């Protein structure tokens, strides 16, 4: 038995047991509802109502804050005006835009290309509408967790800052009289994000990136076939160069990569949609009719709804809390300002990019149902199905699409390297030696991920990432009043000039 097969077999029983708990499914009307999806979705509904639809009302303010000139001016004003009242909050490492780009790089990934194809194949076109609804609801959850992330962040002697669920759970619960519970929840979250970063944020990404390289270079006939370790070494070197500089280095890279890869992918996708404009009425009709009838889907309309919700919450990670770790590094004196910026994440990730992918599929392969069925029957994965759809109009498209997919994977890795680093340092402290060990471990896992297929290990890390949404959302409910107070204070100061 190969080493990777032996590891897979050894870890599988633990993985299956954990997944059975985290992804427990409740039978409902002929289909199955994962309770973790319901838990994440419910928080979006509660916070959308509790914050009086602020996630929709403040979209203009979010865009204003990330504009270079206005954002810089606001940051300078905040630092000056808060020197007396909030001296502890004037720290930070990156701009609003850089914090947003880093957080987006952690969510915009392979799932935006391939996951949507899988969702449509399982839940039908109607899943797209519910995916959009869940994305819109997730904006409110991001608003809360990223406001709290900045509010309870911690400054270190070297000028860097740390924030995120570990800190608002421990410090927030201590502030309300429950210090032991807060420390326990914070440590559990930190351990979960550390384990998760090595799997879903690392090995899975390098594995999928190598698969894309292999696919466009000839598959089994490629000179790279069997040389995943070489690709992994090169990728690990590139990632290492970025993460060694900490958040400032990561933010500089993501601020350039994220806009480029998003524009590259959307330009190709919009081109396909434009050339298939005659199929758009068909696509929209299928989306709306399928959302309420669920034709051909297990569980009918409810089945389509569940699949759409699942794709959205798995894509934008609202409620997981990971994005607040990146947003906590922002240079601002007003925590709510970064919470407002964070509402753009689910909008860009789910509502714009995922919906665009869905329209590409519906106006090409799904428009000719036989072709979509052939693609599925041929064992094609989600990315391959999307690639086939785009190639119907642009034969050269699989190559730039592969480049976009690799950039998605690379940017996701450097963002999750930072998330895992903050979880690790929360557990073991800010010692230079411990930090160097973590970064070496992270880069080593990139090589492993590109070389072998450790399904059980990846499934285990996936389950851990979604398990930590339980303490995170409990903390959000407990501390939501503090976040709303910060938001109201910020809006009052903005209205008074």
**3-state SS string for the chain:** CCHHHHHHHHHHHHHHHHHHHHCCEEEECCEEEEHHHHHHHHHHHHHHHHCCCHHHHCHHHHHHHHCHHHHHHHHHHHHHHCCCCCHHHCCCCECHHHHHHHHHHHHCCHHHHHHHHHHHHHHCCCHHHHHHHHHHHHHHHHHHHHHHHHHCCEECCCCCEECCHHHHHHHHHHHCCCHHHHHHHHHHHHHHHHHHHHHHHHHHHHHHHHHHHHHHCCHHHCCCCCCHHHHHHHHHHHHHHHHCCHHHHHHHHHHHHHHHHHHHHHHHHHHHHHHCHHHHHHHHHHHHHHHHHCCCCCCHHHHHHHHHHHHHHHHHCCCCCHHHHHHCCECCCCHHHHHHHHCHHHHHHHHHHHHHHHHHHHHCCCCCHHHHHHHHHCCCCHHHHHHHHHHCCCCCCHHHHHHHHHHHHHHHHHHHHHHHHHHHHHHHCCCHHHHHHHHHHHHHHHHHHHHCCCHHHHHHHHHHHHHCHHHHHHHHHHHHHHHHHHHHHHHHHHHCC
Model pLDDT for residues 360-411, shown as the tens digit of each residue: 999 987 766 655 555 554 445 667 788 888 888 888 877 887 888 788 889 9
pLDDT at 351: 92
pLDDT at 427: 94
Q: Which domains does the chain have, with CATH numbers?
A: 33-78+88-488 (1.20.1740.10)
pLDDT at 19: 84
Residue pair 288/68 in contact (Cβ under 8 Å)? The answer is no
User: What are the tokens at 349?
Assistant: 């990730």
How much is the CA Rg of the chain, to the nearest whole Å?
Answer: 22
pLDDT at 314: 79
Residues near 139 by beta carbon (within 8 Å), at least 6 away in sequence: 44, 48, 55, 56, 318, 343, 345, 346, 347
User: What are the tokens at 93?
Assistant: 């490492």
pLDDT at 90: 55
User: What are the tokens at 337?
Assistant: 């300002």
The span from the CA of 258 to the CA of 251, in Å, is: 10
| First CA to last CA distance, the chain | 69
pLDDT at 383: 73
The span from the CA of 172 to the CA of 167, in Å, is: 8
pLDDT at 74: 52
**Beta strand pairing status for 161-162 and 25-28?**
unpaired
User: What are the tokens at 163?
Assistant: 């924030």
Residue pair 34/464 in contact (Cβ under 8 Å)? The answer is no
Residue pair 453/199 in contact (Cβ under 8 Å)? The answer is no
Residue pair 109/408 in contact (Cβ under 8 Å)? The answer is yes
Residue pair 353/112 in contact (Cβ under 8 Å)? The answer is yes
Dihedral over Cα of 399, 453, 247, 266: its sign: positive
Residue among 286, 266, 290 nearest 367 (CA): 286
The span from the CA of 399 to the CA of 391, in Å, is: 10
Residues of the chain with pLDDT under 70: 1-4, 29, 68-90, 219-223, 226, 294-299, 367-382, 454, 497
Residues near 50 by beta carbon (within 8 Å), at least 6 away in sequence: 140, 480, 484
Q: How far is CA 86 from CA 159, 329, 386, in A?
A: 17, 17, 49
pLDDT at 71: 46
């Amino acid at each position: 038995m190969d080493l990777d097969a032996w590891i897979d077999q050894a870890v599988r029983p633990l993985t299956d047991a954990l997944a059975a708990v985290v992804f427990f499914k409740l039978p409902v009307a002929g289909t199955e509802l994962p309770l973790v999806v319901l838990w994440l979705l419910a928080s979006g509904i509660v916070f959308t109502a509790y914050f009086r639809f602020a996630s929709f009302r403040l979209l203009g303010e979010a865009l204003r804050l990330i504009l270079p000139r206005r954002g810089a001016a606001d940051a300078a004003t905040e630092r000056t005006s808060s020197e007396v009242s909030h001296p502890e909050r004037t720290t930070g490492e990156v701009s609003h835009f850089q914090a947003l780009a880093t957080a987006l790089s952690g969510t915009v990934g392979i799932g935006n290309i391939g996951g949507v194809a899988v969702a449509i194949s399982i839940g039908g076109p109607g899943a797209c509408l519910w995916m959009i609804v869940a994305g819109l609801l997730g904006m409110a959850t991001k608003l809360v967790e990223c406001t709290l992330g900045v509010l309870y962040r911690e400054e270190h002697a070297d000028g860097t800052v740390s924030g995120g669920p570990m800190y608002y759970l421990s410090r927030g619960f201590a502030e309300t009289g429950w210090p032991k519970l807060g420390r326990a929840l914070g440590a559990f979250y930190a351990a979960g994000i550390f384990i998760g970063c090595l799997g879903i944020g690392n090995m899975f990404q390098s594995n999928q990136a190598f698969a894309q390289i292999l696919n466009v270079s000839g598959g089994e006939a490629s000179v790279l076939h069997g040389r995943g370790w070489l690709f992994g070494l090169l990728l690990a070197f590139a990632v290492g160069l970025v993460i060694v500089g900490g958040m400032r280095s990561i933010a500089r890279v993501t601020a350039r990569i994220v806009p480029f890869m998003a524009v590259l992918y959307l330009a190709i996708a919009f081109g396909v949609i434009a050339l298939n404009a005659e199929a758009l009425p068909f696509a929209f009709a299928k989306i709306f009719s399928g959302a309420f009838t669920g034709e051909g889907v297990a569980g009918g309309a409810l089945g389509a709804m569940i699949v759409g919700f699942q794709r959205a919450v798995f894509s934008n990670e609202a409620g997981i809390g990971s994005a607040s770790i990146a947003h906590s590094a922002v240079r601002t004196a007003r925590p709510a300002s970064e919470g407002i910026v964070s509402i753009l994440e689910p909008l860009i990730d789910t509502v714009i990019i995922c919906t665009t992918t869905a329209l590409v599929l519906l106006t090409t392969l799904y428009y000719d149902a036989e072709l979509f069925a052939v693609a599925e029957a041929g064992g094609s994965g989600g990315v391959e199905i999307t690639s086939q759809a785009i190639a119907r109009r642009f034969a050269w498209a699989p190559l730039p699409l592969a480049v976009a997919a690799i950039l998605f994977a690379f940017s996701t890795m450097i963002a999750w390297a930072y998330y895992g680093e903050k979880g690790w340092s929360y557990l073991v402290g800010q010692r230079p030696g411990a930090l160097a060990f973590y970064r070496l471990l992270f880069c080593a896992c990139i090589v492993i991920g590109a070389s072998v297929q450790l399904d059980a290990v990846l499934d285990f890390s996936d389950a851990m990432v979604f398990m930590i949404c339980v303490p995170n959302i409990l903390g959000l409910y407990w501390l939501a009043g503090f976040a709303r107070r910060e938001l109201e204070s910020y809006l009052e100061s903005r209205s008074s000039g």
